[in-house]
């Protein structure tokens, strides 16, 4: 009898332990520890793209006859290095000039001539071979100028009406018998002689009143390029409009250049 009682108690105790172990092994889902989860990333609002810049107003060039004006002129080009640098300066400052180019140089280096025309600069002839025109017979003189004209047309410029005779040399044939207007200058910087930018700058800045003047330089020297880099903005700061020779004649002197006329050192 006692054995039966002990057996019953042992079985009851065994079932009770088994029940506890089973309950301890099964935990509710919310009680099971889990790995730490990264925080949800915050939503960043998309930035609006910047507004496009306002388009610049196109520059409109206007000549005021009541304001001072001066004509910058350049001889002996075009030059592969210097011509474009001078045109860069003129374009940056909305300025124009007259460039008297040598025909054989135009044939060898035509690109700057097309750009001169696009910018609105005036392209004149400085003969074809830079000879003293006053020493040529009329037939040779006309042949030289016609050959230069062909080079200008091929480079994209009209055949020039204006001619600056090399060395400023003219005679009774050159002045009235070419079908073109002969134009010299009124202010000679002698940049070809000094090859010194500061001397050219000093000469122009100390000249005095420049209203109505035609300034001579040469577009084949780096020293002239450096002088132009200073003189163009300086002239504008002094109130001068930088115009072409034809514009100067029209607005300042009240006439247009005429064929077979000579416009000399005092105009």
Identify which of 113, 131, 132, 135 has the alpha carbon closest to the alpha carbon of residue 122: 113
pLDDT tens, N- to C-terminus, the chain (267 residues): 444 444 454 544 444 444 444 444 444 445 445 555 666 666 666 777 777 777 777 788 999 999 999 999 999 999 999 999 999 999 999 999 999 999 999 999 999 999 999 999 999 999 999 999 999 999 999 999 999 999 999 999 999 999 999 999 999 999 999 999 999 999 999 999 999 999 999 999 999 999 999 999 999 999 999 999 999 999 999 999 999 999 999 999 999 999 999 999 876
Beta-carbon contacts of residue 29 (< 8 Å; ≥ 6 apart)? none
Q: Structure tokens of 60? A: 């409109």
- List active site positions: 75, 218
Q: Determine which helix (DSSP H) or strand (DSSP E) holds 107, and give its type and residue range.
A: helix 103-108
Residue 84 burial by CB count (10 A; 0-12/13-18/19+): exposed, middle or buried? middle
Give residue for tokens 């002129």.
73
d(Cα 217, Cα 90) in Å, to the nearest integer?
Answer: 14
Give this prediction's pTM: 0.79
């Amino acid at each position: 009898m006692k054995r039966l009682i002990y057996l019953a108690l042992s079985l009851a105790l065994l079932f009770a332990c088994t029940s506890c172990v089973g309950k301890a092994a099964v935990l509710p889902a919310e009680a099971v520890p889990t790995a730490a989860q990264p925080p949800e990333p915050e939503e960043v609002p998309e930035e609006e793209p910047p507004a496009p810049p306002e388009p610049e107003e196109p520059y409109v060039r206007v000549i005021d006859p009541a304001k001072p004006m001066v004509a910058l002129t350049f001889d002996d080009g075009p030059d592969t290095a210097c011509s474009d640098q001078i045109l860069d300066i003129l374009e940056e400052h909305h300025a124009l000039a007259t460039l008297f180019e040598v025909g054989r140089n135009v044939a060898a280096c035509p690109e700057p001539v097309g750009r001169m025309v696009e910018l609105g600069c005036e392209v004149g002839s400085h003969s074809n071979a830079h000879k003293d025109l006053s020493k040529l017979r009329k037939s040779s003189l006309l042949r030289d100028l016609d050959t230069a004209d062909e080079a200008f047309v091929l480079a994209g410029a009209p055949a020039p009406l204006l001619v600056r005779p090399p060395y400023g040399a003219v005679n009774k044939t050159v002045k009235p018998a070419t079908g073109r207007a002969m134009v010299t200058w009124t202010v000679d910087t002698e940049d070809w002689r000094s090859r010194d930018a500061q001397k050219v700058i000093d000469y122009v800045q100390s000249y005095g009143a420049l209203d109505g003047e035609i300034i001579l330089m040469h577009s084949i020297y780096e020293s002239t390029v450096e002088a132009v880099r200073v003189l163009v903005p300086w002239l504008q700061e002094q109130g001068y409009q930088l115009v072409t020779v034809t514009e100067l004649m029209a607005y300042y002197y009240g006439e247009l250049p005429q064929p077979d006329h000579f416009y000399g050192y005092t105009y």
